[in-house]
Structure 1
Amino acid sequence: MGLKTTSFNIEEKDYELLKDKAFLMKKRVSDILRDLVSDFIKVEKTEQEKSKEKIKSFFNYLDNLEEVSKEESKEIETSIKNLTEEEIKKIEKFFS
Protein backbone atom coordinates (compact mmCIF):
# COMPACT_ATOMS: atom_id res chain seq x y z
CA MET A 1 0.00 0.00 0.00
CA GLY A 2 1.46 3.35 -1.03
CA LEU A 3 0.96 6.80 0.36
CA LYS A 4 -0.62 9.26 -2.03
CA THR A 5 1.17 12.58 -2.50
CA THR A 6 0.36 15.44 -4.81
CA SER A 7 2.17 14.10 -7.88
CA PHE A 8 3.45 10.58 -7.17
CA ASN A 9 3.05 7.53 -5.02
CA ILE A 10 5.64 6.56 -2.42
CA GLU A 11 5.85 2.99 -1.28
CA GLU A 12 5.71 2.65 2.49
CA LYS A 13 9.22 1.16 2.69
CA ASP A 14 10.55 4.12 0.65
CA TYR A 15 8.66 6.48 2.92
CA GLU A 16 10.28 4.87 5.97
CA LEU A 17 13.72 5.16 4.33
CA LEU A 18 13.12 8.83 3.54
CA LYS A 19 11.85 9.44 7.06
CA ASP A 20 14.94 7.73 8.53
CA LYS A 21 17.23 9.71 6.24
CA ALA A 22 15.53 12.96 7.20
CA PHE A 23 15.90 12.09 10.89
CA LEU A 24 19.62 11.30 10.41
CA MET A 25 20.12 14.58 8.53
CA LYS A 26 18.35 16.49 11.29
CA LYS A 27 20.53 14.76 13.89
CA ARG A 28 23.69 15.54 11.90
CA VAL A 29 22.75 19.23 11.60
CA SER A 30 22.03 19.28 15.33
CA ASP A 31 25.46 17.72 16.04
CA ILE A 32 27.19 20.27 13.79
CA LEU A 33 25.41 23.17 15.49
CA ARG A 34 26.28 21.81 18.93
CA ASP A 35 29.95 21.52 17.89
CA LEU A 36 29.95 25.07 16.53
CA VAL A 37 28.45 26.47 19.72
CA SER A 38 30.92 24.48 21.79
CA ASP A 39 33.85 25.82 19.73
CA PHE A 40 32.51 29.37 20.07
CA ILE A 41 32.26 29.01 23.85
CA LYS A 42 35.84 27.67 24.01
CA VAL A 43 37.13 30.65 22.01
CA GLU A 44 35.23 33.09 24.24
CA LYS A 45 36.62 31.46 27.39
CA THR A 46 40.14 31.61 25.94
CA GLU A 47 39.75 35.31 25.14
CA GLN A 48 38.41 35.99 28.64
CA GLU A 49 41.35 34.14 30.17
CA LYS A 50 43.79 36.20 28.08
CA SER A 51 42.12 39.40 29.27
CA LYS A 52 42.19 38.22 32.89
CA GLU A 53 45.89 37.41 32.57
CA LYS A 54 46.65 40.88 31.14
CA ILE A 55 44.77 42.56 33.97
CA LYS A 56 46.37 40.31 36.58
CA SER A 57 49.80 41.02 35.13
CA PHE A 58 49.15 44.76 35.22
CA PHE A 59 48.01 44.70 38.85
CA ASN A 60 50.98 42.53 39.79
CA TYR A 61 53.17 45.13 38.17
CA LEU A 62 51.45 47.87 40.17
CA ASP A 63 51.77 45.86 43.38
CA ASN A 64 55.48 45.44 42.79
CA LEU A 65 56.15 49.11 42.26
CA GLU A 66 57.98 50.76 45.08
CA GLU A 67 56.70 53.95 46.55
CA VAL A 68 57.90 56.88 44.47
CA SER A 69 59.20 60.17 45.66
CA LYS A 70 57.47 63.49 44.92
CA GLU A 71 60.02 64.25 42.21
CA GLU A 72 59.48 60.89 40.58
CA SER A 73 55.75 61.38 40.89
CA LYS A 74 55.95 64.72 39.06
CA GLU A 75 58.16 63.14 36.42
CA ILE A 76 55.66 60.32 35.89
CA GLU A 77 52.77 62.77 35.73
CA THR A 78 54.63 64.84 33.14
CA SER A 79 55.39 61.72 31.11
CA ILE A 80 51.73 60.74 31.16
CA LYS A 81 50.65 64.21 30.07
CA ASN A 82 53.18 64.09 27.22
CA LEU A 83 51.97 60.80 25.80
CA THR A 84 51.24 61.01 22.10
CA GLU A 85 47.91 59.90 20.71
CA GLU A 86 49.65 56.90 19.13
CA GLU A 87 51.12 55.85 22.47
CA ILE A 88 47.72 56.22 24.14
CA LYS A 89 46.14 54.00 21.46
CA LYS A 90 48.84 51.36 22.01
CA ILE A 91 48.13 51.39 25.75
CA GLU A 92 44.37 51.15 25.15
CA LYS A 93 44.92 48.30 22.70
CA PHE A 94 47.02 46.47 25.28
CA PHE A 95 44.15 46.56 27.77
CA SER A 96 41.43 45.69 25.29
Structure 2
Amino acid sequence: KAECQITVVPLGNGEYRIDAESDTPAAQRRCQAVARGYLKLCEMESPEGEDCRVRFPCGAPHDRLLGLLLFRAQNVRSTLREDEAAVSRGVLAAPSQQV
Protein backbone atom coordinates (compact mmCIF):
# COMPACT_ATOMS: atom_id res chain seq x y z
CA LYS A 1 0.00 0.00 0.00
CA ALA A 2 2.91 2.35 0.64
CA GLU A 3 4.34 1.54 -2.80
CA CYS A 4 7.83 1.60 -1.31
CA GLN A 5 10.12 -0.40 0.99
CA ILE A 6 9.42 -0.23 4.75
CA THR A 7 12.36 -0.77 7.10
CA VAL A 8 12.75 -1.03 10.86
CA VAL A 9 15.82 0.80 12.15
CA PRO A 10 17.22 -0.10 15.60
CA LEU A 11 18.06 3.01 17.65
CA GLY A 12 19.41 1.25 20.74
CA ASN A 13 17.95 0.50 24.17
CA GLY A 14 15.05 -1.45 22.64
CA GLU A 15 13.83 1.51 20.56
CA TYR A 16 13.10 1.32 16.83
CA ARG A 17 12.12 3.72 14.05
CA ILE A 18 9.93 2.59 11.16
CA ASP A 19 11.08 4.23 7.90
CA ALA A 20 9.84 4.32 4.32
CA GLU A 21 11.96 4.81 1.21
CA SER A 22 9.72 7.59 -0.07
CA ASP A 23 8.24 10.60 1.67
CA THR A 24 4.69 10.36 0.33
CA PRO A 25 1.59 10.64 2.51
CA ALA A 26 0.78 6.97 1.78
CA ALA A 27 4.24 5.88 2.93
CA GLN A 28 3.93 7.95 6.12
CA ARG A 29 0.53 6.41 6.88
CA ARG A 30 1.97 2.92 6.31
CA CYS A 31 4.85 3.62 8.73
CA GLN A 32 2.35 4.76 11.35
CA ALA A 33 0.21 1.66 10.75
CA VAL A 34 3.24 -0.63 11.16
CA ALA A 35 4.17 1.14 14.40
CA ARG A 36 0.62 0.68 15.73
CA GLY A 37 0.77 -2.97 14.68
CA TYR A 38 3.95 -3.49 16.68
CA LEU A 39 2.37 -1.76 19.67
CA LYS A 40 -0.46 -4.31 19.64
CA LEU A 41 1.47 -7.44 18.69
CA CYS A 42 4.51 -6.93 20.92
CA GLU A 43 3.03 -4.89 23.78
CA MET A 44 5.52 -2.13 23.04
CA GLU A 45 5.43 1.54 24.03
CA SER A 46 5.32 4.60 21.81
CA PRO A 47 7.58 7.55 22.71
CA GLU A 48 5.45 10.70 23.10
CA GLY A 49 5.02 12.66 19.91
CA GLU A 50 6.66 9.95 17.79
CA ASP A 51 4.17 8.24 15.46
CA CYS A 52 6.76 6.04 13.75
CA ARG A 53 8.83 4.96 16.76
CA VAL A 54 8.28 2.09 19.16
CA ARG A 55 10.23 0.69 22.09
CA PHE A 56 10.27 -2.31 24.35
CA PRO A 57 9.72 -1.42 28.04
CA CYS A 58 12.57 -3.77 29.01
CA GLY A 59 15.05 -1.74 26.93
CA ALA A 60 16.49 -4.89 25.34
CA PRO A 61 16.96 -5.23 21.58
CA HIS A 62 14.66 -7.66 19.79
CA ASP A 63 15.77 -7.11 16.19
CA ARG A 64 14.99 -10.61 14.94
CA LEU A 65 11.51 -10.58 16.47
CA LEU A 66 10.62 -7.32 14.76
CA GLY A 67 11.96 -8.67 11.49
CA LEU A 68 9.77 -11.75 11.78
CA LEU A 69 6.67 -9.75 12.68
CA LEU A 70 7.03 -6.93 10.13
CA PHE A 71 4.66 -8.61 7.68
CA ARG A 72 2.07 -9.27 10.39
CA ALA A 73 2.38 -5.77 11.87
CA GLN A 74 1.34 -4.28 8.52
CA ASN A 75 -2.09 -5.88 8.82
CA VAL A 76 -2.57 -6.36 12.54
CA ARG A 77 -6.38 -6.62 12.43
CA SER A 78 -6.20 -9.60 10.12
CA THR A 79 -3.47 -11.16 12.28
CA LEU A 80 -5.55 -10.80 15.45
CA ARG A 81 -8.60 -12.29 13.70
CA GLU A 82 -6.52 -15.29 12.58
CA ASP A 83 -5.24 -15.82 16.12
CA GLU A 84 -8.75 -15.62 17.60
CA ALA A 85 -10.05 -18.10 15.01
CA ALA A 86 -7.22 -20.52 15.81
CA VAL A 87 -7.99 -20.32 19.53
CA SER A 88 -11.72 -20.87 18.98
CA ARG A 89 -11.04 -23.99 16.89
CA GLY A 90 -9.06 -25.57 19.68
CA VAL A 91 -6.47 -28.29 19.24
CA LEU A 92 -7.05 -31.71 17.74
CA ALA A 93 -5.82 -34.43 20.04
CA ALA A 94 -6.00 -38.20 20.00
CA PRO A 95 -8.55 -39.66 22.47
CA SER A 96 -5.69 -41.11 24.51
CA GLN A 97 -4.26 -37.60 24.94
CA GLN A 98 -7.49 -35.97 26.10
CA VAL A 99 -8.03 -35.35 29.78
**Under TM normalisation by the shorter chain, which class is it?**
under 0.3
Pick the structure with greater CA Rg: 1
Which structure features the higher share of helix residues?
A: 1
Q: Quick one: higher RCO (CA 8 Å, sep 6+), 1 or 2?
A: 2
Relative to its length, the structure with more strand (as a share) is 2
Q: TM-score, normalised by structure 2?
A: 0.24
